[in-house]
């Protein structure tokens, strides 16, 4: 380079020349603009980033509204004695909450050691963990290193519950940023690590459907969490990272590797000693796990009982109708809300019912099997099609019109299933789902209610093994014709309660017809003339019931049935109109005998009779008394509020007549060994349905038997086994109970009447004692039983006194002449009879009746034995 004077001068001139100065200035300006632009860009990007972050954080849930309590606790059912009988849980809601002091420290330390070793030190986020994960991601390209704290995981599971639906990195970044921010805020607000750890340990998924450490302890070890040892604690802690992979039932080897990692961390972090570590490593925990599974399988059933089926329906309905939940919300609360439901079920009574219904000797020897079938297939074009048992029935009726899905054996039924399925699959369709079940026939159902409270104590919806939950419950779902059991609630209750009739009111048992001209037949096939209502109830006389119902009026009878709690009656409304526009109503004469449009439910018939047993006070069947929420607060109090359907005196009169049914009428097979019983039989014309509904001073029980397909019950034992079931169940229930009679309420009087006419008796009447509501006693005297005699014919004759109780002569009960006078002719017509040792035949003139005061009418007396 030339540093001479000339060169330097030239250089200076170039620097100060105008052109050079302009160029330099332009260059500097460009650099300045570029620099300023870069600064502006950085500021803009930073501002945008800060703004975006602020926007993200602004949308973070309010810490004051965040609930870190676990979602989805199991619900428990308790019997009437307060004992747990069932756990209800949705697939992701099998949680059993426990407090931190119930969780072993070994389990707490195990989870902290493997999941978040600086849990007790950080403020909700682990900066060191984040940096470590970042370095690993940059150096290896792997983002597998976790940096979430226990606090963050708790928020992810209980607050940011939609994280599994994230599909983009932006969504993940947004949730992660909010999660970290909220973790710090939550720890500030709570200020207690144990609260966070407790909620986390009650939240985590530990595989096999177990959520939370208590559910997992019960699932894997069949014991409570507080009884776990170090090895078992490490086993559970190892599951959290991958619940399926580390499931100790299905993958014990994988879990064992993970358990060792947990124990290694615990040893390194000073939670356990080397000796404790060695003992835990050598513990054969997996054998115990397998043994516990056998025990769990034997002690628990996934199939709900008939009582539990109906209970769940009632709870969901009440949560909707009382608390205002939607159906989905109610179902979620039932199966995931951690409720405690106090049921009315009596385990002792339910066990008796279950045992008797499972005893083959209580059923007819001849057993048939009804098929229930459903099939879903995917056709070659991809369309799914459903096939039902009704479609199968129609298919085979093309071959045999009498085909009815009823088989002599299950094997026979299966052959028809196979043939039907083969025909459907012939086009290349494939099976998507199939259900095949066989129910033994004839079937039966029973309900038992404590009439004083309305509490349902036991229910069984059918005979045979119950193979699934929420299946057909014949006690609560099926509607069947009630037969003569309906006479009491449809007809005689209203007649005695407000139509001025009594048990002594008479009707003529004679041939009659319905409005359409069809005859009304008695089961006996005969007619017996003048018949009291008591006799008609005792002997189940149809003609009397129909005539009485006509006097009561079908409209009033239907009103009483509504008040008795029946919900399946036809009232002639739009709901009772068929596709052809025909309107059905049960406000007609056949209703008196149980001839209904739809039939009734077993539990509702039982509840109606329970109302009579309860002094005329109806209580809707109660399946639970109280529902408590997860925190122990009362959610619903199910009080037994009843309504008066009939007077207490009317209820007693019906009870007295129903006692007569069991003692002397159609229900003698249902007498109990040491308890008063009142009840009524019921049989439909073609023997499709058989009933007995009866009660004691303690319980009301309704039993039904029949075929699911409504076939006729064959003659013989099949027509009586329901009575056997009723008697056996009720005998066992009342064994050891104090004997009681039905209490006679105030307002009931008992007097003597003529058993045939129901009127006040005269000498010669067949006399019986009858109960009456005060003010309804008869005032007229029987005019069918009397005899005329001359005073001279028997010294033992006495003048009739209307106020005296008549007593037939024990020597001559039929009133024939046994006078000892042998000399007089005593013709009586003209009063001219001659003398005889027995006295003068002085009776002259026509026979006349005594007046009501007991005095003589005219000159003539009437004499009775």
378-416 pLDDT, tens digit per residue, is 999 999 999 999 999 999 999 999 999 999 999 999 999
Q: What percent of the chain shows pLDDT beyond 90?
A: 64
Structure tokens, 67: 């609930």
- Give the pLDDT score at 648: 98
Q: What's the pLDDT tens digit per position in 10-55?
A: 544 554 455 554 554 545 455 554 555 555 555 444 444 455 555 5
Query: CA 517 → CA 490, 520, 585, 749, 849, distances in Å?
Result: 22, 9, 18, 41, 42
Which strand (E) or helix (H) includes residue 625? Answer: strand 624-628
Q: What's the pLDDT tens digit per position in 210-267?
A: 889 998 999 999 999 999 999 999 999 999 989 999 999 999 999 999 999 999 999 9
Higher pLDDT, 295 or 810: 295
pLDDT at 811 over 70: no
> Could you tell me the pTM of the whole model?
0.74
| Angle, in degrees to the nearest 10, between helices 252-268 and 105-115 | 90
456 contacts 700 by C-beta, under 8 angstroms: no
d(CA 271, CA 219): 26
Task: Give Dmax over CA atoms of the chain in angstroms.
Answer: 199
Question: Quick one: average pLDDT of 700-712?
Answer: 96
Structure tokens, 87: 């756990």
581 pLDDT band, cuts 50/70/90, is confident
Q: What's the pLDDT tens digit per position in 598-635?
A: 999 999 999 999 999 999 999 999 999 999 998 899 99
Question: Quick one: average pLDDT of 501-521?
Answer: 96
Residue 750: Cβ within 10 Å count: 12
Lowest mean pLDDT, pick from 7-11, 153-157, 391-395, 563-567:
7-11
pLDDT at 296 over 70: no
Long-range contacts of 673-678 (CB under 8 A, 24+ apart): 673/731, 674/734, 674/739, 675/730, 675/734, 675/737, 675/739, 675/740, 676/739, 676/740, 676/741, 676/742, 677/730, 678/613, 678/742
Smallest Cα–Cα separation from 194: which of 102, 278, 317?
102
Residue 513 sits at φ, ψ, to 5 deg, of: -130, 160
Higher pLDDT, 14 or 355: 355
Please tell me whether the peptide bond between 698 and the residue prior to it is cis, using omega within 30 degrees of 0: no
76 contacts 86 by C-beta, under 8 angstroms: yes
181 pLDDT band, cuts 50/70/90, is confident
Three-state DSSP class for residue 343: strand
pLDDT at 467 over 80: yes
Smallest Cα–Cα separation from 482: which of 619, 596, 610?
596
Instruction: Return the beta strands (E) in 510-552 as ranges.
Output: 512-513, 519-520, 529-532
- 508: which residues sit within 8 A by CB, 6+ positions away? 529, 530, 531, 543, 547
Q: ∠ at Cα 318 (312, 321), nearest 5°?
A: 140
- Give the pLDDT score at 191: 84
pLDDT at 832 over 60: no
- Give the pLDDT score at 543: 98
End-to-end CA distance of the chain: 169
């Amino acid at each position: 380079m030339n540093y001479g004077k000339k060169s330097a001068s030239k250089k200076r001139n170039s620097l100060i020349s105008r052109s050079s100065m302009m160029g330099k200035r332009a260059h500097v300006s460009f650099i300045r603009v570029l620099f300023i632009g870069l600064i502006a860009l950085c500021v803009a990007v930073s501002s945008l980033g800060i703004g975006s972050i602020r926007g993200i954080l602004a949308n973070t849930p309010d810490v004051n509204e965040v609930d870190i309590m676990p979602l989805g606790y199991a619900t428990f059912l308790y019997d009437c004695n307060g004992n747990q009988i069932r756990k209800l849980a949705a697939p992701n809601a099998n949680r059993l909450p426990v407090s931190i002091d119930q969780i072993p420290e070994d389990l707490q330390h195990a989870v902290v050691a493997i999941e978040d070793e600086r849990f007790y030190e950080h403020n909700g986020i682990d900066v060191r963990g984040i940096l470590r994960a970042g370095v690993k991601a940059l150096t290896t390209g792997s983002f597998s290193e976790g940096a979430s704290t226990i606090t963050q995981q708790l928020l992810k599971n209980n607050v940011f519950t939609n994280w599994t639906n994230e599909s983009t990195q932006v969504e993940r970044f947004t949730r992660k940023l909010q999660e970290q921010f909220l973790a710090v805020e939550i720890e500030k607000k709570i200020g207690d690590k144990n609260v966070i750890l407790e909620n986390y340990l009650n939240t985590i998924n530990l595989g096999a459907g177990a959520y939370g450490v208590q559910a997992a302890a019960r699932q894997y070890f069949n014991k409570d969490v507080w009884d776990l040892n170090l090895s078992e604690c490490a086993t559970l802690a190892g599951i959290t990272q991958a619940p399926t992979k580390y499931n100790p039932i299905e993958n014990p080897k994988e879990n064992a590797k993970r358990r060792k990692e947990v124990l290694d961390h615990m040893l390194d972090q000073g939670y356990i000693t080397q000796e404790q570590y060695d003992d835990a490593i050598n513990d054969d925990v997996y054998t115990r796990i397998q043994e516990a599974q056998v025990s769990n399988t034997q002690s628990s059933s996934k199939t709900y009982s008939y009582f539990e089926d109906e209970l769940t329906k009632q709870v969901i309905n009440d949560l909707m109708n009382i608390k205002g939940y939607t159906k989905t919300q109610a179902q979620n609360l039932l199966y995931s809300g951690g409720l405690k439901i106090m049921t009315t079920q009596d385990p002792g009574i339910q066990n008796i019912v279950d045992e008797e219904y499972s005893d083959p000797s209580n059923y007819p020897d001849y057993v048939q099997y009804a098929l229930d079938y459903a099939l879903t297939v995917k056709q070659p074009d991809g369309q799914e099609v459903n096939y039902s048992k009704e479609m199968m029935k129609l298919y085979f009726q093309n071959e045999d019109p009498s085909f009815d899905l009823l088989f002599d054996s299950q094997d026979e039924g299966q052959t028809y299933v196979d043939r039907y399925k083969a025909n459907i699959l012939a086009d290349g369709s494939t099976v998507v789902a199939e259900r095949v079940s066989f129910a033994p026939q004839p079937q039966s159902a029973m309900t038992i209610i404590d009439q004083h409270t309305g509490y349902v104590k036991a229910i069984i919806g059918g005979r045979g093994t119950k193979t699934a939950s929420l299946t057909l419950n014949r006690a609560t779902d099926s509607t069947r014709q009630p037969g003569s059991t309906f006479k009491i609630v449809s007809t005689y209750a209203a007649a005695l309660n407000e139509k001025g009739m009594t048990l002594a009111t008479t009707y003529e048992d004679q041939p009659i017809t319905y409005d359409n001209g069809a005859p009304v037949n008695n089961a006996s096939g005969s007619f017996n003339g003048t018949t009291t209502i008591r006799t008609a109830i005792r002997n189940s006389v149809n003609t009397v019931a129909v005539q009485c119902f006509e006097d009561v009026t079908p409209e009033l009878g239907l009103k009483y049935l509504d008040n008795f709690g029946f919900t399946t009656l036809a009232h002639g409304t739009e709901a009772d109109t068929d596709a052809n526009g025909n309107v059905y109503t049960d406000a007609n004469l056949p209703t008196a005998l149980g001839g209904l449009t739809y039939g009734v439910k077993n539990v509702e018939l039982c509840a109606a009779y329970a109302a009579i047993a309860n002094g005329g006070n109806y209580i809707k069947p109660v399946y639970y008394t109280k529902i408590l929420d997860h925190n122990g607060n009362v959610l619903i109090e199910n009080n037994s509020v009843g309504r008066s359907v009939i007077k207490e005196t009317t209820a007693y009169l019906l009870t007295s007549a129903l006692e007569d049914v069991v003692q002397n009428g159609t229900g003698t097979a249902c007498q109990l060994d040491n308890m008063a019983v009142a009840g009524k039989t019921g049989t439909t014309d073609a023997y499709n349905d058989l009933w007995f509904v009866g009660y004691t001073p303690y319980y009301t029980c309704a039993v039904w038997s029949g075929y699911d397909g409504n076939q006729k019950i064959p003659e013989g034992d099949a027509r009586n086994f329901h009575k056997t079931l009723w008697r056996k169940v009720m005998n066992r229930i009342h064994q050891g109970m104090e004997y009681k009679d039905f209490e006679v309420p105030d307002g009931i009087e008992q007097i003597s009447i003529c058993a045939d006419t129901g009127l006040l008796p005269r000498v010669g009447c067949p006399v019986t004692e009858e109960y009456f509501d005060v003010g309804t006693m008869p005032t007229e005297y029987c005019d069918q039983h009397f005899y005329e005699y001359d005073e001279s014919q028997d010294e033992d004759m006495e003048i009739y006194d209307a106020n005296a109780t008549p007593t037939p002569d024990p020597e001559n009960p039929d009133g024939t002449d046994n006078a000892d006078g042998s000399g007089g002719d005593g013709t009586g017509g003209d009063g001219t009879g001659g003398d005889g040792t027995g006295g003068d035949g002085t009776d002259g003139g026509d026979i006349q009746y005594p007046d009501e005061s007991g005095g003589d009418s005219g000159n003539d007396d009437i004499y009775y034995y």
